[in-house]
Amino acid sequence: MISFTPILVLFVAAFLYHPVSNDLSRVTGNDSSRVLLLTAHPDDEAMFFAPTILALKDATLPPVQIQTEAPKQVVFSSKQQEDVSNSQLYSLCLSNGNADGLGAIRTQELSRSLGILGIQPDKHWILDHPDLQDNMTLQWDPVTIAEAIRPYILKHRITTVLTFDSDGISGHPNHKALPEGVKQLALALSDSEKPRLFTLISVPTFGKYTSVMGPFLGKFDLYASKALIFYEGVVHGFMERADLIPVGSAAKKTLMPVYVSGYAAYLTSFKAMLAHQSQLVWFRWLYLAFSRYMWINEWAEVKL
């Protein structure tokens, strides 16, 4: 009797091998876009956002020199701005994760992780603000967040901010406060200064821990959605030519930005998380093995 198990395993492996992304331009905007990843703690970038970082980073850049020293906090006037000419990816972490007195160690770990993920040393920063400390019971003040991120947004002409949604993926109150801080900042900025905001979609607890089924189903859904939109367009085109519906009456449909890692990107994300040695307690290993966020990111745009 022929066993189909090896065939099924090979099919799943082949299906997961290559990364897939949908509509990168909706996030990057154009060739001079400035994308800021806004996180709350060291390790957020590897645990939750790695598929997007790896999809957005410029593959033509030379390998990043992994930084062994802590990133310096930059102090500048809000009127100072960089000369920009091409798309760039930045990272700003609002605390050093000092809940257990490991702030200095976690700062070093963040530098190594971001280096592995490909963010240049001069494009990532970490703050140690007295009112933005790592705390599972503290809801950060949106006004304080807005004041903390404002100079980075203005100096680097940030056009897009990527961060957690209002559920914070894990429910951490520090995570949940970040989009509120960006909204607060947007109220004080002109239209030309105001960035676009995308938030990482939280899924129910069961859906978080589907391991390789997460990217498998994500890719299937993405391919199926694109196929349906394509064939719907074909049908509408036929109906327009047959004068069954007015020309141009069909609404243009777009899909949410989705980034699904392949094997190589997953292994890079895994390696980045290994840089956070102080956080590798037993349940983090389970997270690395089963979390869908190690494989797939889905984004929703928030109107500001």
Query: pLDDT (tens digit, 9 = 90+) per residue, 167-219?
Result: 999 999 999 999 999 999 999 999 999 999 999 999 998 889 988 788 878 87
What mean pLDDT do residues 110-129 have?
95
- What sign has the CA pseudo-torsion 58, 62, 63, 65? negative
80: its two tokens: 């100072």
Predicted TM-score (pTM) of this structure: 0.83
Query: H or E stretch including 161?
Result: strand 160-164
User: 5-17 and 213-241 helices cross at what angle (nearest 10)?
Assistant: 70
301: its two tokens: 């745009």
Give Cβ neighbours of residue 283 (< 8 Å, ≥ 6 apart): none
Task: Name the pLDDT band for 234 (thresholds 50, 70, 90).
Answer: confident
What mean pLDDT do residues 211-237 have?
79
Task: Name the pLDDT band for 28 (thresholds 50, 70, 90).
Answer: low
Percent of the chain predicted with pLDDT > 70: 79
Rounded distance, CA 150 to CA 171, Å?
25
